[in-house]
Amino acid sequence: MNVPEKIIWKKCKNCGFLQHKTHLRCLKCKKTEFDKIEASGSCKLLTYTILKAPPAEFRDKPSYVLGVVEFENGIKGLGQITTQGNLKTGMQLKPVYRKICNNLNDTEVYSYMFKPLE
């Protein structure tokens, strides 16, 4: 069973800058001490694009949408949007954890997608 990973970023203890967890030093002040900060609440769509020639992993779809979202506490995320219709920057979405494709060796891949709030 796939347990959803939390969406976690780092908040610099020195200057408060928010950044992705993979960075080792603060991108703003270069310090190395952080607090963990977890995505919370709904998120808004900052920008998106529709991929019309998806990579081979997504062979079951003729196209899909990739979007950048921002949560209420400033964390940003990149992921597929569950629909292609009626998308507008600034609209509210929520993260949903689900299968996004079968890998080329047929392993199921799970991740967050972002679904418009009704």
Least distance CB 73 / Zn ion (angstroms): 17
The position carrying tokens 């972002």 is 114
Sole binder of Zn ion in the list 14, 32, 84, 103 (CB under 5 A)? 14
Sole binder of Zn ion in the list 7, 26, 39, 45 (CB under 5 A)? 26
Least distance CB 69 / Zn ion (angstroms): 23
Least distance CB 14 / Zn ion (angstroms): 5
What span, in angstroms and rounded, lies between the C-alpha atoms of 51 and 59?
12
What is the helix, strand, coil percentage profile of the chain, to 5?
5, 45, 50
Two tokens, residue 108: 């199921």
Two tokens, residue 35: 């607090």
Task: CB nearer to Zn ion: give 24 or 53.
Answer: 24
- Decide: is 32 part of the binding site for Zn ion (CB under 5 A): no
Two tokens, residue 8: 């976690």
